[in-house]
Amino acid sequence: MNPHLRDVAIPNDWDRRGLPGWSYHSAALLELEKEYVFRNHWQIAGHVCDIPNAGDYLTMDVIGERALIVRGKDGVVRGFNNMCRHRGSRVVADSQGNCRNALVCPFHGWVYNLDGTLRGAARPRSFPDLDKTEFGLMPLDLEVWMGFIFIRFRNGGPQPSVAELLKPIEPEFAHYKAADMVPSWGIWTQKTSVNWKSVRDVDNEGYHVAMAHPALQDLYGATYFDEPFINGVSRSFATYNPHAGRRWSVRNYVKIAPEPTHLPDHLRKAWVYYGIFPNAVLSVMPESVQFYQEFPLSTGETLLRGAIYRYRDESREQAAARYLSFRIDRDTMSEDVQLSVWSNESMLSEAFEGFYLSDLEYGVRTHHDHLRKQIPVLGLETAPEEKDMWNLNDALRSRG
Ligand code: FES
Ligand SMILES: [Fe+2]
């Protein structure tokens, strides 16, 4: 079977330059990215199995916004701004936990029901005119897809529903039954000193695998290929070599990984990565499913976040394979972090003249094209004045 989902012809003649160097270090541009790319595009918050019981919650603090995802007594997973309607305190402080019957604001003690409605203010007689129906937690768009919880900080946005957006990968992804999975080691976060786009640029191409990732190259290097971003979704596919084994973790992985009979043939040895514009990847292996994503903390700092999920009834062999694939991934990630730092640093140099991308890096180009569509000022080779950035971008947007 052809392992390609979509056959994509790379044009003969394409602009091989990346985004302009200035855009990796501009604070004004970062504000545009938050506005037009992060707040209004779907973001993965976690998985329904991270909050299995009524009152379980998880929070996500990113791009100056605070999301609170909570499971109600009716079992429904809802998303809110983690922001008390009294004076804006966090309603819950921890990144994950259980709040039993209600959400009690730690500042003055306003109490919210698990469905976000206001149960009552503390010392209610001090608010003679308070209309409780007006002061529920502010809801976020939320959609669950194959168990993954997607939220959107701004209601509405340029993307369709998650189900529509991910339709091209749905038939393949469905084989993994991700909705029934359980957490492996919980949601992790890590900071790295680099612009978020540099992280994404490295992740959006497999051209560097042969040189930079000895373990991955050993595991599946020869079979790897990328399908670029089309309508917000990319796909990278590789199958591991059952005879690989120069590295300890790889040698043991291919030896231990059991034959995953629940998967169709073409996926039984596959590691597949689905990119979701602007900043996330869902990836599948025979023994696990994971997400990872990045959020800007500043122009030069990025928050990496993700989690791995496993089969509820996994065998010991599956568990061992999951652990070994995690080790391979962990090494790969630290190699990528270093490379993204070096590439990102160069954009502060006067000598930097832009990228010159290979056909094997066409995925980087298509991600940049998606960004340019939302933020047309990214098409300018020379940096605009920081103070003009917003207006200039607005003018270009209205021109379409
Ligand atoms: S800010 Fe929440 S009760 Fe005052
Ligand atoms: Fe990499």
Domain boundaries, given as residue ranges, for the chain: 1-40+166-400, 42-156
Residue 378 confidence (pLDDT): 98
* Residue 379 structure tokens: 């098409």
User: Ligand 1 pocket, 86 CB below 6 A?
Assistant: yes
pLDDT at 396: 97
Q: Say if ligand 1 is within 6 A of residue 105 CB.
A: yes
Locate the ligand 1 atom nearest the alpha carbon of residue 84 and give its number: 2
Residues 6+ apart with CB under 8 A from 81: 65, 66, 67, 68, 137, 138, 140, 153
User: Under a CB-based contact definition with an 8 Å cutoff, are residues 215 and 249 in contact?
Assistant: yes
Please state the atom number of ligand 1 nearest to the C-alpha of residue 87. Answer: 1
Could you tell me which residues come within 8 angstroms of residue 102 by beta carbon, excluding any fewer than 6 positions away?
111, 112, 113, 114, 119
Ligand minimally distant from the alpha carbon of residue 332: 2
Among 2.102.10.10, 2.40.50.100, 1.25.40.10, 2.60.40.10, what is the CATH number of 42-156?
A: 2.102.10.10
So what's the pLDDT on residue 1?
56
* pLDDT at residue 12 in the model: 86
Calculate how far, in angstroms, residue 83's C-alpha sits from the geometric centre of ligand 1: 9
- 8 A C-beta contact, residue 41 and residue 153: no
Question: Is there a contact between 224 and 209 (Cβ–Cβ < 8 Å)?
Answer: yes
Token pair of 7 as six digits: 């056959």
Mutate to test the pocket of ligand 1, among 66, 80, 89, 132 (most ligand atoms within 8 A of CB): 89
Cα distance between residue 352 and residue 70, in whole Å: 46
Phi, psi of 56 (to 5 degrees): -70, 140
Preceding amide of 278 cis, omega within 30: yes
Q: Can you name the residues that pair with 306 across neighbouring β-strands?
A: 188, 292
- Contact criterion met (CB below 8 Å) for 78 and 70: yes
Nearest CA to ligand 1 atom 3: 108
Question: With a 6 A CB cut-off, is 312 part of the ligand 1 pocket?
Answer: no
pTM of the model as a whole: 0.97
Q: Is 110 in the pocket of ligand 1 (CB under 6 A)?
A: yes
**Mutation pick for ligand 1 pocket among 81, 86, 92 (CB with most ligand atoms within 8 Å):** 86
CATH number of 1-40+166-400: 3.90.380.10
Q: How far is the CA of 295 from the centre of ligand 1 (A)?
A: 28
Report every protein residue that has its C-beta within 5 angstroms of ion ligand 2: 336
pLDDT profile of the chain (400 residues), mean per 10: 79 92 97 98 98 98 98 98 98 96 97 98 96 97 98 95 98 98 97 96 94 94 93 96 91 95 96 98 98 98 98 97 96 92 89 92 97 97 96 93
- Rounded to an integer, what distance in angstroms lies between the CA atom of residue 48 and that of residue 89? 25
> What's residue 350's pLDDT?
86
User: Which ligand minimizes its atom distance to the CA of 336?
Assistant: 2
- Whose alpha carbon is nearest atom 1 of ligand 1? 87
